[in-house]
Structures are given as structure tokens and as C-alpha cells.
């Protein structure tokens, strides 16, 4: 396994790409309301990325993906393709943004609620968010990827939710998906030893029901097999000399 170590110049470019990706999510939140289609959200994000940021939406035409963002609604786990279906009050939607700027990728996603969410959707989103941060806080030179996965898994299962195992985080940089794979389950002290300069995504997918998922015939959309709700949050993170730096913080977090 060859994991790229970013030098200072590359790290700076990753910071720029990460900030731009977060800015798209900051921008799109006001448009997530009843009656909007996910296709409209895609168009707004595409125009913002290309016209305002002067960047490239990484998902567009990536291995044949037809849109510029991923929109995963309710029981869709990940890779939802924006379309003509209108969002309605109570929907929970994950919007996943990846931009390319000066050859480097920034990748992040957040949960948004359309109107007032159900208690279960709110709780599921909170646990997914907390588990992501527990995983991120395990990052430091000398630690292992298993420490990240174990922290996420422990928190999710403590609250009787389940972790999707077929899809995971990944290294990122000049390529959208690099080594290593970042599992959101595992045992502490196992797996790849982390080094300063590594960049990766932490993005647990958490289901309200069982962990089982299935891929729809479109070849992209992943849903929960039992049609239970799913939630996900994602950040791109740099391993630093004494810990980590989150490269995709939103305006409220900076």
C-alpha cells in the first residue's frame, strides 16, 4: 500500500480545496426547503463551484457519475443522483461536495433537514456527527487506522445504530480516492500506522436499522436494505505533527 505524504505546498493546496468544498455547503443550506428538487440543488452548486470559485466539481463524469454533487435522501446511504423528485417537509438529505482546485481535492458532506425532522432522524444525524468527530480525534502520528474505526463503531453501536461496512473513507489529494481505505469499524492498535502529512476523509455512514445495504440498478445509489433511515457526515483531515487539522470546516466552525 502506497500512501502519499503531502509536503507543505501540497498541504496548502489541500487547505484551499477543503475550504472551497465547505463554502459550497455553507452556501447551499438556504436552498434546502420543501419543493426544491435535488437537481436544482445540483445546478446551484455546479454554477457556484465553476463560476464563483473557479473550481471543478469532482463527481461530474467521475467513473460515469452524471451530476456535480451527491444528494442522499432519507434511506439513501450514499451516492444519490440528483433528480426531479421534490424534497418535502421532514426529509433528511446528505449533500456531498468534492471540488478540485489547482489539482487537489476537497471532500465533505453534511446532513440537512427539510423543515422539522423526526426525532429519529435528528438523533441519527447527531450520532453520525459525533462518531465522525470521535474518529477524527484519534488521528495523530503513531496512531493506527483501527483506532479511528474502533472509536466510531463504539459510539454508534452504544446508541443501537449500525455502521455501513461496504463503504468507507479514503485517502485524498491529487486523486479523488487514494490509499488508504478508512474503515469506520475495527480494533484499536491495528491497521496502518499514521504519519504526518497523510490526508484522508472520515465519513461514517450510520443506519437506524441494520447495516445491510444494496446498490440500485443505476449503478450508484446505495440504500438501506430494510429502508431504515441513514445519516452521514464527512470531513477531509490532515495528520499533523501533533494531531490533526480538519480542512473542510464550515463558516460556523472556523
pLDDT value at residue 67:
98
Chain segment 9-21, per-residue pLDDT in tens: 999 999 999 999 9
Share of the chain above pLDDT 70, in %: 100
Q: With cut-offs at 50, 70 and 90, classify the pLDDT of residue 59.
A: very high
From CA 254, how far away is CA 251, in angstroms rounded? 5
- Look up cell 463560476; give the residue: 51
pLDDT at 1: 75
pTM confidence score: 0.97
pLDDT digits (tens, 9 = 90+) for 103-122: 999 999 999 999 999 999 99
- Alpha-carbon gap, residue 139 to 240, rounded angstroms: 9
Taken in order of first residue, the domains within the chain and their CATH numbers are: 8-246 (3.90.230.10)
Amino acid at each position: 500500500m502506497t500512501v502519499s505524504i503531502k509536503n507543505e505546498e501540497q498541504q496548502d493546496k489541500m487547505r484551499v480545496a477543503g475550504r472551497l468544498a465547505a463554502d459550497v455547503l455553507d452556501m447551499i443550506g438556504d436552498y434546502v426547503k420543501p419543493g426544491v428538487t435535488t437537481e436544482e440543488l445540483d445546478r446551484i452548486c455546479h454554477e457556484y463551484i465553476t463560476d464563483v470559485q473557479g473550481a471543478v466539481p469532482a463527481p461530474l463524469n467521475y467513473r460515469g457519475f452524471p451530476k456535480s454533487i451527491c444528494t442522499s435522501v432519507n434511506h439513501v446511504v450514499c451516492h444519490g443522483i440528483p433528480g426531479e423528485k421534490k424534497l418535502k417537509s421532514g426529509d433528511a438529505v446528505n449533500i456531498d461536495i468534492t471540488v478540485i482546485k489547482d489539482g487537489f481535492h476537497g471532500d465533505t458532506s453534511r446532513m440537512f433537514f427539510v423543515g422539522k425532522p423526526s426525532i429519529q432522524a435528528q438523533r441519527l444525524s447527531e450520532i453520525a456527527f459525533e462518531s465522525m468527530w470521535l474518529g477524527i480525534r484519534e488521528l495523530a502520528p503513531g496512531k493506527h487506522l483501527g483506532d479511528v474505526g474502533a472509536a466510531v463503531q463504539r459510539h454508534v453501536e452504544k446508541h443501537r445504530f449500525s455502521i455501513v461496512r461496504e463503504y468507507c473513507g479514503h485517502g485524498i489529494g491529487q486523486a479523488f480516492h487514494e490509499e488508504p481505505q478508512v474503515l469506520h469499524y475495527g480494533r484499536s492498535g491495528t491497521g496502518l500506522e499514521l504519519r504526518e502529512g497523510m490526508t484522508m476523509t472520515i465519513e461514517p455512514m450510520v443506519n437506524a436499522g441494520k447495516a445491510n445495504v444494496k446498490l440500485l440498478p443505476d449503478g450508484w445509489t446505495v440504500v438501506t436494505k430494510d429502508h431504515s433511515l441513514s445519516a452521514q457526515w464527512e470531513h477531509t483531515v490532515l495528520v499533523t505533527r501533533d494531531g490533526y487539522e480538519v480542512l473542510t470546516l464550515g463558516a460556523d466552525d472556523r
